[in-house]
Amino acid sequence: MFSSHRSARRRRRSLLLGAPVAALALLLSACGGSATGGGGAGGNTLIIGMTASDIPVLDTGLAQGQGYEGLRFVGNQLYDGLTKFDLTKGDQIPKIIPDLAESWTPNADLTSWTFKLRPGVTFHDGTPWNADAAVFNLDRYADKTSPDFYQELNAQGGLSIAGIKSFHKVDDLTLQIDTNGPWAYLPSDLATVYFASPTAVKAEGNKGFAEKPVGTGPFRFDSLTRGQRLVMVANDKYWAGAPKVSKVILRPIPDPTARVAALRSGEVNWIEVPPPDDVPNLKTQGFQVLTNSYDHIWPWVYNMTKAPFDNPKVREALNWAINRQALVDNILKGTAEPALGFVPHANAAYRPTDDAYGYDPAKAKQLLAEAGFPSGFSMTLSYPTSGSGNMVPTPMNTALQTDLAAVGVKVELKPIEWAAMLNDYFAGKIPDNADALNISLSYQQEGFWRSWFGTDSAINAGKYSNPQVDALFAKARTVLDDSARSDLYSQAGQLLTKDSPWLVVVDDRNPRVLAGTVHGFVQPQSWFADLTQISVG
């Protein structure tokens, strides 16, 4: 569910440089690169090697077409929402704080929220931010009766606000949002609802705007070469203060080996998800290797409409058949941690009692026999070859395939491109009608709990249903206190563990590598990242 570039000068070596410099170049080449690299752009420039296979669509919430990585590097940079996550600290789970709204107040039954909008903000094209601009954008996302409604945006970027009933301008700097029933955590779900310049959308049209995006965010659009790079420049008029870095360049590099090669050569100065085997050497060479717990889970989502996954004993059996610690130690090299239940450690709902699974192949075989499969069975798994939060999916799934074969479960792996998988997933489907789907997910926005597991959710791809879990999600919408809501999610997590609708595998630790010339970045406990305090040089 939904992530440093620096003046990267290609290090062309010339005989004119003289023997001492040439010798140094050969030494750096033998070592595999330099942590001070950064080529391809001059000045105070951050160049990011993404896991995505392409630059996300640049229109507000459509950046989610490349998962949370698209929102991390495009949505949160070009745009603002009414609210946002506080990404300034690395030692605590980020809270929701004001963004384009300075404050918000619910009514007594949590069905109506009044947002006081931030004054003095303008879009990159000079259009004023106000309640009219807010209503125009919400029309695009959610109001199917509006001439400004955009179906494609609604289908992807509007998922988190599907329960909004209506909205209207109270005055120039006041917006009211009414909901279909109580919605205690609406401010959390609004964090990825981004606002575009009405002037620009009307001038360019929806498709044209995606090529010339205009927001209020800390960076402005400069240029796009589809499949190769997006260039954004600092918004020197940003309402929260101009970013310290002058320019950000995004480069889609889905192959992890190619990403680390680009880092070592100086073509980029920040990469997402280094190959785990390269991490020790990158540290030795002086690169900054950063990790932190965050709200991430890497599961297989069972297709519960198909046998044998309509049987809870089968689903539980697989959760006892896999060696998560060996996966972490041997393939991920400590860049993740075993997921022993449904609640990530970096979620406010986590309780030690939520960890329930372990590695016990004998127990797995016993459960399979009790379910009527003493000799096991065959199944198919659809999985992405790269993408946001997916780590190194091919070797990981190959290792799981081996573990499951040891208890008689034969798994056919069916790779699919990340964006194509997301298209199916957001439509509530498992690609190729496979028996299970491997995808990286999160509960960072509270509404995701209901999205993944709610009986009435349109994107509940596994078709899980439990009235007790539904009741806990419904109650959570009526509870304003964050801590009390987290207790409800913990209870839901324990029920999910009992029902085992997923094979839960690991929680990622969000590894990324920065060149030594990148300064000021805080690795948060979040999928997202604040690029405004970074400098390069």
Residue range 202-222: mean pLDDT, rounded: 98
Q: What is the pLDDT of residue 353?
A: 87
Q: Which residue type does 281 have?
A: N
Grade residue 524 by pLDDT with cuts at 50, 70 and 90.
Answer: very high
Under 8 Å between Cβ of 209 and 136: no
Separation of alpha carbons 394 and 220, rounded Å? 36
Length of the chain: 537
pLDDT digits (tens, 9 = 90+) for 21-35: 333 332 333 334 557
Distances (CA, A) of 59 to 210, 231, 404, 434: 5, 15, 42, 31
The residue that leads in pLDDT, 159 or 243, is 243
pLDDT of residue 20 exceeding 50, the answer is no
Grade residue 43 by pLDDT with cuts at 50, 70 and 90.
Answer: confident
pLDDT digits (tens, 9 = 90+) for 303-362: 999 999 999 999 999 999 999 999 999 999 999 999 999 999 999 999 998 899 999 999
Give, as one character, the DSSP assignment of residue 72: I
Grade residue 42 by pLDDT with cuts at 50, 70 and 90.
Answer: low
Q: Which of 528, 532, 524 is nearest to 73 (CA)?
A: 528
Which tokens sit at 412? 């056919």
Separation of alpha carbons 132 and 147, rounded Å? 15
pLDDT digits (tens, 9 = 90+) for 388-408: 999 999 999 999 999 999 999
3-class secondary structure, 484: helix
pLDDT of residue 419 exceeding 80, the answer is yes
Q: What is the pLDDT of residue 41?
A: 56
Separation of alpha carbons 441 and 508, rounded Å? 10
pLDDT digits (tens, 9 = 90+) for 110-166: 999 999 999 999 999 999 999 999 999 999 999 999 999 999 999 988 888 999 999
pLDDT digits (tens, 9 = 90+) for 171-201: 999 999 999 999 999 999 999 999 999 999 9
The residue that leads in pLDDT, 12 or 518, is 518
Residue range 78-105: mean pLDDT, rounded: 97
Distances (CA, A) of 426 to 13, 137, 250, 348: 49, 21, 25, 25
Under 8 Å between Cβ of 343 and 349: yes
Q: What is the pLDDT of residue 5?
A: 35
Q: Which residue type does 4 have?
A: S
Q: What is the pLDDT of residue 109?
A: 97
Grade residue 250 by pLDDT with cuts at 50, 70 and 90.
Answer: very high
pLDDT of residue 9 exceeding 60, the answer is no
Residue range 229-237: mean pLDDT, rounded: 98
Rounded to 5 degrees, φ, ψ at 412 are: -95, 120
Count of CB atoms situated within 10 Å of the CB of 522: 15
Q: What is the pLDDT of residue 23?
A: 32
Give the CA dihedral 198, 204, 208, 214, nearest 10 degrees: -40
Residue 70: which H helix or E strand, with range? helix 67-70
Query: Quick one: residue 123, left, alpha or beta (phi over 0 = left, psi -120 to 50 = alpha)?
Result: beta
